[in-house]
A and B are shown apart, each in its own frame.
Chain A
């Protein structure tokens, strides 16, 4: 892979997160019955959690987050995300950031946990970078912020696993696989009953996650780590249905690769 300029990396980050947001929004529209007035997350119940807010703010949330307002918000989000492939503007990114925060509020924290975190991180970086496009250092800072966060996401995940004996002994991996909502994947069923293989795999995962920050040392190492990370997350899609993680993390990889080039320079 040749040298990637900061502007190019930033552009790829924008397009990839826009794609992730398109998919996320289509999914939410597909399950809109769940937040309809007669659905599970009906607004007239969820809104009680905001009773402590000032009246104007509650009125604003009522307008944006009841069924009609929320569907309209999602449709607008889909439109602005698709528009990224043709035109990009700070207000557009500000709206995508704001709508992502509102979605998290609507779902009482996050809808999908980690993928919502990464989506917000990338959106915050892009929005800041687009507000000050004539300041190259701002863009560099945004790229570094995303790169550090993606390194932390793997490093912290690996380090906390190392502290747990059930992970060191391989029992945690078997337990997570057997508790998946989809049941144990058939090809992995037999493998999950082999304790030594589970232990080896668990150590492989922990080693990969803890070593992930080495991606910043060299672009070739970075490319290898990105390939491993993508394969790992595809495995998570298959085992646990965590598709959103794959797309949200993909949006952060251009920033990581660009930062890894600095060691060569």
Chain B
């Protein structure tokens, strides 16, 4: 038991630090540190429910104007093999992380300036993400343009209900 005392002290310290009101999760300064965040695990899994970013798009054409908003990413499919290999599911999670990064970049901008956002790497990747889904859905019509939007939806409620966080500029399909 005496050999476990240092361990007990270690976890008691961890508990005290987590419970300390003054200790908040601080964002590491600068994008460069974020690129190495895999080396600094936080272990805060499923901590907060929060809002879930939902991406939708609409096609804009000269003839018929703006079409209805459509869900860009849809629902993933379960399969028995996903315990071993779940490439599409993990890709979907990476896509969602990209949108979350976009929202973080937006929140970090002064006065949420969308002009600066549109020059960011996250925004350019998000355009590619939506474009790839539009093509996969067969909705890519040559000569048309699209817009995408991100809604911060509340889990368990209608996906299209929530705070509209971003509506993009028009981009070629």
Contact = CB atoms under 8 A, between A and B. Distances in A.
Interface in A225-263: 234, 237-238, 241, 243-244, 246, 262-263
Interface string B95-123: 11110010000000000000000000100
A40 B128 contact: yes
Contact of A149 (B41, B97, B128): B41
B141 to A, nearest CB: 19
Interface string A80-123: 00000000000000000000110011011111111011101100
Contacts of A49: 31-32, 35, 121
Size band of the interface chain B makes with A: 35 or more
A112 B46 contact: no
A159 B18 contact: yes
B145 interface: no
Contacts, number: 181
Interface string B1-41: 10110010011001100110000000000011011111101
A178 B78 contact: no
Contact of A114 (B41, B77, B96): B41
B119 to A, nearest CB: 10
B161 interface: no
Given A27-B85, A41-B125, A42-B128, A156 B18 contact: yes
Interface stretch (A3-11, A68-76, A132-140, A179-187): A179-187
B128 A110 contact: no
A46 B49 CA distance: 29
A165 to B, nearest CB: 11
Nearest to B44: A160
A57 to B, nearest CB: 12
A45 interface: yes
Contact of B91 (A34, A163, A183): A34
Contacts of A52: 32
A30 to B, nearest CB: 4
A118 B39 CA distance: 9
A263 to B, nearest CB: 6
Contacts of B46: 157, 161, 172, 176
Contacts of A62: none
Contacts of B97: 109, 113
A67 interface: no
Q: Majority SS of interface residues in chain B?
A: helix
A121 B156 contact: no
A262 B76 CA distance: 45
Contacts of A28: 87
Given A40-B132, A110-B38, A156-B14, A176 B90 contact: no
Given A153-B41, A237-B86, 14 more contacts: A23-B85, A27-B87, A45-B124, A49-B32, A52-B32, A108-B98, A108-B101, A159-B15, A159-B19, A166-B49, A181-B93, A185-B78, A241-B90, A241-B93
Chain A to chain B: the 4 pairs with minimum beta-carbon distance, closest first: A241-B89, A179-B155, A117-B41, A175-B155
Interface of A: 23, 26-28, 30-31, 34, 39-42, 45-46, 48-49, 52, 100-101, 104-105, 107-114, 116-118, 120-121, 148-149, 151-153, 155-157, 159-161, 163-164, 166, 171-172, 174-176, 178-179, 181-183, 185, 213, 216-217, 234, 237-238, 241, 243-244, 246, 262-263
5 contacts: A45-B128, A160-B44, A172-B49, A216-B7, A241-B76
